[in-house]
Amino acid sequence: MRIALINVQCLEGNNIVPPMGLLMVAAQLERDGHSIRAFDIDPDEEDIISSVTAFDPSIIGLGFLTNTYDKAKRLLAKLKRSLPRSKTVLGGAHSSSVPLETFKNLRPDYLIAGEGEITMSRLCKALERDITSDLSNLDGLYYWRNEAVSFTGPPVPIEHLDELPFPARRLLDFERYLTSPGIMRGYAMDKMTTIITSRGCPYPCSFCASNKVFGRKIRNRSVKNVIAEIRLLSAEYGIKGFYICDDLFTSNSKWVLSFCEALLKEPVKYRWACQSRVDTLSSGLARSMGESGCAQIDFGVESGSTSTLEKLNKKTLNDNVVSLFRMLREAGIRSCATFIIGNPDETEKDIEDTYGLAKSLKADFTVFYYSTPYPGTSLHTMALDKGWLDDKTPYSSGWNHRQACLPLMDAGIGRERLAALRRSMQNHFYFRNYFNIRNLIFLCSVFYSSLLHPSGTIKAVTTFFPVGRLDDLVEGLLINHRRHINIRAMSTLDHR
């Protein structure tokens, strides 16, 4: 069968993270013998209806986040009108977080909650053979039966990840994901991409819905399997580095040490980065990671207030966090610290404590996000119960904890005041975040793009002034730069 898979993205400054979930589903379907077309687009920036229609797929899969829900809704309606015979299947983070609500509101033919590779594979086989009368053996599937919603039961996480094929990256113009500044924040680097070595996270943080997709149990791929994928990426795309997208890469120190030992034996000396928690990294483990090429570790520190950490159900303390960041500097590993403000019952004193901690850590990159009650999280339930969030707030680009001008949730301090606090704190770290010797060449290229495309530069500046947050200016200039790269790439293709 012909199957079109679409990731609905939102054009952002450094939006070069490939849609790994979609590419892994695509690889599984290709293994099954299907013909696949993959799209990773912002439908408000690029019209793909004609391309999808020309492909004439039997099945259309659509994945999206909460902040692209409205884009996905409009795109799905257009696809249904243009291809009324094609079956539509929804998946991804938002669909998994609030599956029943999404299924009823968007009314696709099917919705898959949780990890999609196996269920999508089995669904496509059933559709190809026209045996859809009984789909009860497909985990996490919503579908219509006699105009009523049927659900096959909770999704079951895939236990043996090595059995899955590597992501089908070649289905996209993958070179555009490998351009500078790359994925490591504050560390400009080309030829860097993402890999996933494990799934699942056991921690119950109130603001996170990752478990709705990947479950609580951590499942690791084998070191051998991960190294094989890295070698393939090196051979096919000449990658110089990679970012490990696992929720908690350092959860299994024995596995990480084996991985570091394997990397040291590789002929290519990769630079890589990952995410960790402040309570799962020892000095010995950090030293081994640094020796194997780890350039940066990202931490969700979240708050400098113990009471706020308790409200977030973070299950961490900040007793040793300053010494942890000092240890990373001594090991030659960069650090990224992210914080959340506007949390439940948080006071300005709590935010001052967070700001003080952020300055004392001296991280190489520091970011402050708004506390955003994403659907499927306990924070979302709390926000609705306490009236911090209007239950009629539509899902749109406003559900973006990184770029939103004002927070969605007002837990007491006030939206305007919270925006002012965030602006002041974030601007303090502006030069430390972006301006270093390593980034000089990339910064010059952004400046060059700004001169070549003045309309985008003017838009970036006009977006910055009402808010006054310097990161907004950076985001706007990066969007302009990204468009310049895409235009140049299309020009190159036209001349081939």
**Percent of the chain with pLDDT strictly greater than 70:** 96
**Percent of the chain with pLDDT strictly greater than 90:** 78
Average of pLDDT values for 166-186?
92
Residue 151: is its pLDDT beyond 90? yes
> What per-residue confidence (pLDDT) applies to 11?
60
Q: Considering the entire predicted model, what is its pTM?
A: 0.93
- Split at pLDDT 50, 70, 90, the class of 452 is confident
- Split at pLDDT 50, 70, 90, the class of 213 is very high
Residue 242: is its pLDDT beyond 70? yes
Compute, in degrees rounded to 10, the torsion defined by CA atoms 369, 445, 467, 470: 60
Q: Any idea which residue has 């096919």 for tokens? A: 236
Gap between the Cα atoms of 201 and 246, Å rounded: 9
The first and second tokens of residue 325, run together, are 């960041």
Average of pLDDT values for 153-171?
97
Query: Of residues 489 and 319, which shows the higher confidence score?
Result: 319
Question: Contact, 424 vs 341, CB < 8 A?
Answer: no
For every residue of the chain, which 3-state class applies, written as one string? CEEEEEEECCCCCCCCCCCHHHHHHHHHHHHCCCEEEEEEECCCCCCCHHHHHHHCCCEEEEEECHHHHHHHHHHHHHHHHHCCCCEEEEECHHHHHCHHHHHHHHCCCEEECCCCHHHHHHHHHHHHCCCCCCCCCCCCEEEEECCEEEECCCCCCCCCHHHCCCCCHHHCCHHHHHCCCCCCCCCCCCCEEEECCEECCCCCCCCCCHHHHHCCCCEECCHHHHHHHHHHHHHHHCCCEEEECCCCHHHCHHHHHHHHHHHHCCCCCCEEEEEECCCCCCHHHHHHHHHCCEEEEEEEEECCCHHHHHHCCCCCCCCCHHHHHHHHHHCCCEEEEEEEECCCCCCHHHHHHHHHHHHHHCCCEEEEEECCCCCCCHHHHHHHHHCCCCCCCCCCCCCCCCCCCCCCCCCCCCHHHHHHHHHHHHHHCHHHHHCCHHHHHHHHHHHHHHHHCHHHHHHHHHHHHHHCCHHHHHHHHHHHHHHHHHHHHHHHHHCC
Residue 95 burial (C-beta neighbours within 10 Å; 0-12, 13-18, 19+): buried
Peptide bond into 375 cis (omega under 30): no
Residue 495: is its pLDDT beyond 50? no
- Split at pLDDT 50, 70, 90, the class of 13 is very low
Starting at the edge strand found earlier in the chain, the sheet holding 192-195 runs: 192-195, 241-244, 271-276, 294-302, 334-341, 365-370
Instruction: Choose among 226, 336, 326: nearest CA to 275.
Output: 336
Question: Contact, 157 vs 217, CB < 8 A?
Answer: yes
Backbone angles phi and psi of 367, in degrees to 5: -135, 140
Residue 484: is its pLDDT beyond 80? no
- Split at pLDDT 50, 70, 90, the class of 493 is very low
> What per-residue confidence (pLDDT) applies to 136?
86
Question: Contact, 386 vs 373, CB < 8 A?
Answer: no
Instruction: Give just the sign of the alpha carbon dihedral 476, 396, 174, 51.
Output: negative
The first and second tokens of residue 85, run together, are 């015979």
- Split at pLDDT 50, 70, 90, the class of 487 is low
In terms of CATH, what superfamily is 2-151? Cobalamin-binding domain (3.40.50.280)
Average of pLDDT values for 296-308?
97
Average of pLDDT values for 333-348?
97
If one counts every other C-beta atom within 10 angstroms of the C-beta of residue 425, the result is 21
- Split at pLDDT 50, 70, 90, the class of 12 is low
State CA 375 to chain mean position distance: 16
- Split at pLDDT 50, 70, 90, the class of 492 is very low
CATH architecture entry for 173-433: Alpha-Beta Barrel (3.20)
- Split at pLDDT 50, 70, 90, the class of 74 is very high
Residue 36: is its pLDDT beyond 50? yes
Average of pLDDT values for 219-236?
98
Question: Nearest-5° angle of CA 71, CA 200, CA 274?
Answer: 85
- Split at pLDDT 50, 70, 90, the class of 461 is confident
Give start-end residues of each CATH 3.20.20.70 domain in the chain.
173-433
Give start-end residues of each CATH 3.40.50.280 domain in the chain.
2-151
Gap between the Cα atoms of 146 and 403, Å rounded: 43
Residues 6+ apart with CB under 8 A from 414: none
Query: Of residues 493 and 71, which shows the higher confidence score?
Result: 71
Gap between the Cα atoms of 225 and 400, Å rounded: 34
- Split at pLDDT 50, 70, 90, the class of 373 is very high
Average of pLDDT values for 57-83?
97
Average pLDDT of the residues of the chain: 92
Instruction: Choose among 198, 219, 367: nearest CA to 274.
Output: 198
Gap between the Cα atoms of 261 and 171, Å rounded: 32
> What per-residue confidence (pLDDT) applies to 486?
63
Q: Any idea which residue has 């010494």 for tokens? A: 323
Residue 121: is its pLDDT beyond 60? yes
Question: Contact, 393 vs 365, CB < 8 A?
Answer: no
Question: Contact, 440 vs 371, CB < 8 A?
Answer: no
